[in-house]
Amino acid sequence: MITLSTLNKYKKEGKKFSCLTCYDAMFAKMMENAAVDTILIGDSLGMVVQGHDSTLPVTIADMAYHTANVARSNKHALIMVDLPFMSYVTLEDAIANARTVMQAGAHVVKIEGGAELCDLVAKLAAAGTPTCVHLGLTPQSVNVFGGYKVQGKSDDSANKLLNDAKALVAAGAAIVLLECVPAALAKAVTAAVNVPVIGIGAGSDTDGQVLVMHDMLGVTHGRTARFVHDFLTDERNTARSVEGAFALYHQSVQEGSYPTEAHQFK
């Protein structure tokens, strides 16, 4: 089974690892068969499963339900779970909601924000709950950003993100996730911290990569993000199957053929 110790070992060895979102038992078993390293039960389920326009309506009960579905079926991957919008504003809420998803089967909880989360990260770590901190484009703050836009493009915003990552790791964060930031910034963050860094739209130099499962299977509506690749119809997926797409994604991340320069922001 993949653990935090495994991912830390991979970082030291320079070995890339894969992550996909997942929300149910059937796909979780396929990901286990494909040897996907980590699974994220993302609040993206609000859009791809529930049909909302954003992640904001998702509740902690929703997250616990889907976490339990995945945990019952996949015994291989490290399981990370989003704490949804406004579920960790107070320390009391954060501890109670982290307990809920950890008891449902999570190994790590994911929270969005910068250095202001340091106290919370430290408290959760002391209570035995590892955190993944999500920096860059944080979907729960989409109304603050005014849309889904690349973050960290100016020197000031890039320096803030780098300093936030360092502070959060010093506070006890176990993993950093970077979304939609320039590749050079993601490379700098990855080199600056001693914990695994996962990227999505963050170039090829992070320790791991994550995609929303529906996106990498070509199940999308409207415009496809630059960093998305359809692994289901990729000619290298000789099985022409969903499980084959998962396996190809895992292999492509490990060998460094995904993401390419075309998938990154400069």
Catalytic residues: 179
Task: State which amino acid sits at residue 137.
Answer: L
Backbone angles phi, psi at 20, to 5 degrees: -135, 150
Structure tokens at 114: 């910068």
Distance from C-alpha of 259 to C-alpha of 264, rounded to nearest angstrom: 7
**Which secondary-structure segment (H or E) carries 82?**
strand 78-82
Closest C-alpha among 112, 220, 150, 117 to residue 211:
220
Distance from C-alpha of 77 to C-alpha of 91, rounded to nearest angstrom: 28
